[in-house]
Chain A
Amino acid sequence: MVHLIERSVLSQAYFSKDHVARHQFESYNNFLEYNLQTVVDEQRVIETDIEHRGKNNEAVWVELGKIRVEKPIVREADGSQSELYPTEARLRNLNYAAPMILEMTLCQGEERYDPIETTIGQLPVMIGSKACNLHGLSDDERVERGEDRLDSGGYFIVNGTERVLMSLEDLASNKIMTEYTERYNEQIHVSKVFSQYRGYRALVVVEKNKKNLLDVSFPSVAGHLRFADLMRSLGLETDSDVVMAVSHDEDILTYMMQNLEAAECSSVEEGVMYVGKKLAPNQTKEYQKKRAEFVLDNYLLPHLNYLISPSVKEGDDGYEEMLINVRLAKAHFLGRMAEACFHLALKKRKTDDKDHYSNKRLKLAGDLMEDLFRISLNRLTRDVKYQLERASMRHRDLSIQTAVRADVLTERLLHPLATGNWVGGRTGVSQLLDRVDHMSVISHLRRVISPLSRSQPHFEARDLHPTQWGRICPSETPEGPNCGLVKNFAQLVEVSKGVHDEEEIKNVLFSIGVEPIGGELR
């Protein structure tokens, strides 16, 4: 039994104002510290189509380096800059945003110019986050700067209005889920994966039909592909390889026999051609092969592409080998999906409960900002490319400073935050902070919304699920059409944010006896 006094210490720790918006801070700070740089690294270079420049018509590109975020500032009409505090931003209808500074290097052929640091735009800063001017200040210091000592922060200020980013609840990606569906009065066992990689989301489905044959479907393939032939195309040469990738189980072996009998390909090349024929009928063999490989590498289970290390470029040594390994990994993943499918059919596994909270993932402020920044940075690079090309056409000197128009990025970051229309067409992501009273502020900062449509019944999704214990408040949900779809965090919720050091996890796994398979060797 916890002693009474100790309990009060505990509750202090949990119910303090720092706890109210902690998930918001942690997520946003994580974005500032790691993911911002990750997104820049994904982009890495801005390539241009500049020709006829320099001596040997050498290609011109820009390499992106380190990005850092400064503290929020305000730029006056006379050009002077000063530190900006939230209260001033609120009163003067300003944006509480800090300049982002990116290291960029212009390259031409072999020549590398000096790296240049440029402001690429203003990043909206969450009140109380590490980038905020209030960070690290004591209560009294905050009061001095016009803040309420009880204000929890965790929101943004855009044009003087306080905007909160809603936490979005979504089905977990990269996780195999099984379910039954019905087609033409036939019961079909299905295993699904929402494979997500760098903002790209692809649904991969493996289904077992009445004849026990497996079909795989994924984006860019019309209809579906035969499982065994697809496995073959991913580099599993022999029948036993294919079977072993699925299971050693005897019952499943019989199923696999049926599948292998229905297969038409007996080598990797044939498999690739089978896929190519499906993708691009009536085309040349070479094109089909190229197309098939491209689709297998990019659209099938894209989340496994994290295995492609970014340091190895196309054409380098070991690149081909790496691709082969990734395909093998994909084959093994498909095998796991097939196994799940068979297990469901054999009643060794139940359908996954989509409302189970372990099957949910939360998209917090940081993740949303990351999505936004990725698209915006992409736009910026296109603009930079265009500006450089234009400068080149007019035979001006190429200069990064003039090519980067900071407003492009700033506008793209602020507008969604101001309207709530996020990238990907989602609306209501940012909302005006409810300042009716202190309780409503706390509640608003801890709100979770589900992307399910409010016009359909969705009885099961609206139910209070026992796994929400300790995570989602059982009592607080609106009445009316949003009932059960809009939720609020429980008092003691902790939102985990994943790890950055994957090697460590792998080592732990290996140390407890996990054996690596084909593609995941490295």
Chain B
Amino acid sequence: MPSPKRIGKLDFGLLSPKDVRKMSVCKVIWPDTYDDDGFPYTKGLMDPSLGVIDPGLRCKTCGQKSGDCPGHFGHIDLAKPVIHVGYTRLIRKLLRVTCRACGRLLLEPQEIDKFSALGDDPFSADVVSEKDIKKERVCPHCTEQQLKVNFEKPTTFMEAWTEDGRKTEHKLTPADIRARLERIPDEDLKILGIDASVARPEWTILTVLSVPPVTMRPSIILENGQRSEDDLTHKLVDIIRINQRFKENQDAGAPQLIIEDLWELLQYHVTTYMDNEVAGCPPARHRSGRPLKTLSQRLKGKDGRFRGSLSGKRVNFSARTVISPDPNLSVSELGIPLAIANEMSVPIRVTRENIEELRSMILVGPERPTLRDPCGANYAIRPDNRRLRLHGGSGLLDNREMVAAMIEPGWTVDRQLRDGDIVLFNRQPSLHRMSIMSHRIKLMDDRTFRLNPAVCPPYNADFDGDEMNMHVPQTEEARAEASLLASVQENILSPRFGGPIIGGIHDHISGIFLLTHELRWFTKPEVLYLLKHANIEFLPKPGKIEDGIPYWSNKQVFSMILPRGLNMVYRATSCTNCPECKKELCERDAYVRIIDGDHISGTIDKKSVGAFEGAIMNRIIRTHGLKRAREYIDDMTKLSIRSIMFIGFTFGIDDEDLSRTEYGQIRDLLDEAELDVEKRIRIYKNGQLEPMPGRTAEETLEMQIMQVLGKARDRTGDIAGSHLGLGNSAVVMAVSGARGSMLNLTQMAGCIGQQSVRGERIVRGYEGRTLPHFKKYDQGAGAHGFIRNSYKSGISPTEFFFHAIGGREGLVDTAVRTSQSGYLQRRLINALQDLKVAYDGTVRTTGGRIIQFKYGEDGTDPTKSAFGDPVDVKGIVESVLKEEV
């Protein structure tokens, strides 16, 4: 392999005809590719000196085989110059700013001096723009009268002038243009931001066309043995054919008209060869009517060379399948199916020390039968990099023993995955860095990836059919980076808000809430049941002993998974922010106090263990480090799942039932609200409604109605809530913050409430009314989308329809939002991807320009911050004082 070289500098310029000829190995003159025997014509488009594509042949120019030979350029001598479409705007500009006779810039000499004084600063390039030069005047250098230059897409330039009151135009041929561009002196070009040493403007008019090597336009052989040429080859054939004809006609002295036609045809072919999607030019088509994919189309767009082949590539050593939950795994583990583990591999170098182990792997071969078997190997790689595929079974191909005998230090063996290997795991869209994290694998039966539900939030995954990707790092460095930088443990804290993004979700929260709420006692078997999967080594002293039976409190059970030395005082999610806090005596048990790792009071819920909030996780990370935090998360999730299983948790249709009195109350309340609405409408109709500042009377009325009905709905919720206590699972979920809210409960048991579209009641529909079921101009609650029923009681047809209207808005919103946020993300990434924090603490672009003098203007790493603040003063004080401040 050649040694790597460092690129010192890049110059962007135009290919001069001289350059084209210099790099050409062959002058192409025949429009044919292969003769009847299948051999390429010399001096044809497939000339063997242009490179090889057929395996087995050697390149005539460099002598290398197909695959090694990069290909070599050829050239076509054009009969007459043609314009390069990519530079038409530049040509237009140059024609407009320079003299048609002497080629100087149309600026007074002193102005030229002024601009050239700006000189060598590379950033001041392109100082003279078209606007700086006045149109149609006399050249200050040679007093030539200037004409207006009109440009017509795609490649036509005209000079226009007025002659005895009539506008006349005449076409500029590419040769004329080239002659004019040649006259522009180098110094004048510099003022225009063009470096004449690499880009003389006349080189934008092609006199010789470079023919790309065959390697970039290989012909393919179809099943029926027919050769099918690449689109570029087709286009080049057209160019050569017309060029030949042009030359012949020229030599024969054909009339001007024919010459012009041919010239235009040649221009068309060269144009579409460069870009087949130019405006004002019918695209060149294949025989089947499909537009040809020419040079520009290869580069452009999502599947083009840049976005499709260079920025994004397909990879090996990756797997994808459906994900499903397994709460018994650690958050840092990942269950992978055996089929995937057998296919994926890790290269291991053979040394004296491991040769026996690897030999045994080779003997297992590529077909590891069950999870418990030792891992096998898929390939053995010889020191000369030849891969030997291992074959198992008992067939003729079985080469396991032979290869096992062959290996010696210096070989490499592709070992299959086994428990504990590190892999990267990813879910698209990869919106933040936690979308790719490394896990340790655990082989499992069945065909899905298994992950702990606590790592769903960073991936934003759920199990309704989501699929995820896995990548196996192939080098020691990659594995080291994966485990040190990308592991789940390292990513518990989100740089987005400086808090833990991994934590309990759904049942974890319900479970821990049920366990720790108020005080209850467990016997030893019960405690052991709860903590079975948690990593606990001994039981503390029992909290109380009654009748000789030891009991442990629920808070003691939870304390067992907490590290010693943890001091916290805060209020749980279930806190209602009473005006005066009763602290430990809170009847909701929402005042959490943890002293030296002992849970004294309060209920553990979302605030303590939930993803995005997780106060306890956050504190453990700060005081005990990430590893302990991960262990805590593992223990906590397992404890909570055991708790919810022990206590039991169900929800059914009758959990939404209220008693007759509540239904009566709700009915009265809604009747009252509707009457209130009627009353307000009457006031409005009588013209007595006092409009609110900045609103019309009508808007005021609408707002009042929304308010009245909203309040009524909330009050039905209160009525329902007062009937349903913590014995109701929905209430438990809402209070603990596990899922849903009291609003959901209100809608199920009380009243669904007002349906709205873009924040307003439903107003569209027929003339004067939403639906024909109502009287015209009825502004009442029911006619504009108020649903007084609950999901339990069932809704009327009109209510159903209004509900569908409201629901549709949500659907449309999500659909529109996802596409917009994806595009926003792309733009942000494109704008920020090259920024980095330099050693001096500044944020700089690759060019060294400073964006920020200090990262984030406070130099704080958001992951190390306390929810955004550099120092968590309150937390420190509280943990020292063990009291709320």
Contact = CB atoms under 8 A, between A and B. Distances in A.
Chain B CB within 10 Å, residue with most, of A464, A480, A481:
A464
A237 interface: no
B815 A479 contact: yes
Nearest to A460: B764
B730 interface: no
Given A462-B808, A466-B771, A469-B771, A481 B815 contact: yes
Contact of A462 (B764, B771, B812): B812
A464 B808 contact: yes
Contacts of A479: 811, 814-815
Interface string A332-355: 000000000000000000000101
B762 interface: yes
B804 interface: yes
B816 interface: yes
A464 B765 contact: no
B846 interface: no
B821 to A, nearest CB: 13
Contact of A466 (B762, B809, B815, B819): B762
A467 B765 contact: yes
Contacts, number: 57
B752 to A, nearest CB: 15
Contact of A467 (B766, B800, B819): B766
A475 B804 contact: yes
A101 interface: no
Nearest to B813: A459
A457 interface: yes
B812 A459 contact: yes
Contact of A483 (B757, B764, B770, B815): B815
B802 to A, nearest CB: 8
B317 interface: no
B801 interface: yes
Interface in B436-468: none
B758 interface: yes
B805 interface: yes
Nearest to B804: A474
Nearest to A484: B812
Nearest to B797: A469
Interface in B727-765: 757-758, 762, 764-765
A480 B815 CA distance: 5
Contact of B808 (A355, A469, A477): A477
Nearest to A355: B764
A477 B805 CA distance: 12
A463 interface: yes
A469 B757 contact: no
A465 interface: yes
Chain A CB within 10 Å, residue with most, of B757, B764, B819:
B764
A480 B816 CA distance: 8
Contacts of B812: 459, 462-463, 483-484
A103 B809 CA distance: 55
Contacts of B801: 464, 466, 469, 474
B765 A474 contact: no
A211 B326 CA distance: 73
Report whether over half of chain B's contact residues are helix, strand or loop; otherwise say mixed.
helix
Nearest to A465: B764
A348 to B, nearest CB: 14
Nearest to A350: B767
Report whether over half of chain A's contact residues are helix, strand or loop; otherwise say mixed.
loop
Nearest to A457: B816
B808 A484 contact: yes
Contacts of B772: 469
Contact of B811 (A455, A466, A467, A484): A484
A464 B819 contact: no
Contacts of B762: 466
Nearest to A474: B804
A507 B805 CA distance: 41
Nearest to B785: A466
A467 B773 CA distance: 12
A67 B808 CA distance: 47
A467 B762 CA distance: 12
A462 B808 CA distance: 8
Contacts of A481: 815, 819
A147 B195 CA distance: 77
A455 to B, nearest CB: 8
A483 B819 contact: no
A464 B764 CA distance: 10
A109 B321 CA distance: 77
A466 B804 contact: no
Nearest to B802: A466
A395 B808 CA distance: 69
B758 A459 contact: yes
B17 to A, nearest CB: 43
Contact of B805 (A353, A356, A474): A474
A483 B804 contact: no
Given A474-B801, A475-B804, A465 B811 contact: no
Given A469-B801, A483-B812, A463 B757 contact: yes
Nearest to A459: B812
B787 to A, nearest CB: 14
Interface string B810-838: 01101110010000000000000000000
Contacts of B816: 457, 459
A483 B807 CA distance: 12
Contacts of A477: 808, 811
B611 to A, nearest CB: 26
A466 B770 contact: yes
B811 A483 contact: yes
A353 B765 CA distance: 9
Contacts of B771: 466, 469
B593 to A, nearest CB: 46
A465 B800 CA distance: 13
A516 B403 CA distance: 100
B809 A463 contact: yes
Nearest to B763: A466
Interface in A460-519: 462-467, 469, 474-475, 477, 479-481, 483-484
A353 B764 contact: yes
Contacts of A462: 808, 812
B815 A464 contact: no
A466 B758 contact: no
Interface in A236-287: none
Contacts of B809: 463
A200 B612 CA distance: 60
Contacts of A480: 815
Nearest to B819: A481
B440 to A, nearest CB: 36
Contacts of B808: 462-464, 474, 477, 483-484
Contacts of B811: 477, 479, 483-484
Interface in A359-409: none
A301 B815 CA distance: 39
A464 B804 contact: yes
A15 to B, nearest CB: 17
A77 to B, nearest CB: 24
A166 B471 CA distance: 44
A469 B757 CA distance: 17
A464 B805 contact: yes
A356 to B, nearest CB: 8
A510 B311 CA distance: 72
A466 to B, nearest CB: 3
Given A462-B812, A464-B805, A480-B815, 7 more contacts: A356-B764, A463-B805, A463-B808, A466-B801, A474-B805, A475-B804, A484-B811
Interface of B: 757-758, 762, 764-766, 770-772, 800-801, 804-805, 808-809, 811-812, 814-816, 819
Interface of A: 353, 355-356, 455, 457, 459, 462-467, 469, 474-475, 477, 479-481, 483-484
7 contacts: A355-B764, A463-B764, A464-B808, A465-B764, A466-B766, A466-B771, A466-B801
Question: What are the 6 tightest A-B residue pairs by CB atom distance, in nearest-first order?
Answer: A466-B765, A474-B804, A464-B808, A462-B812, A464-B805, A483-B815
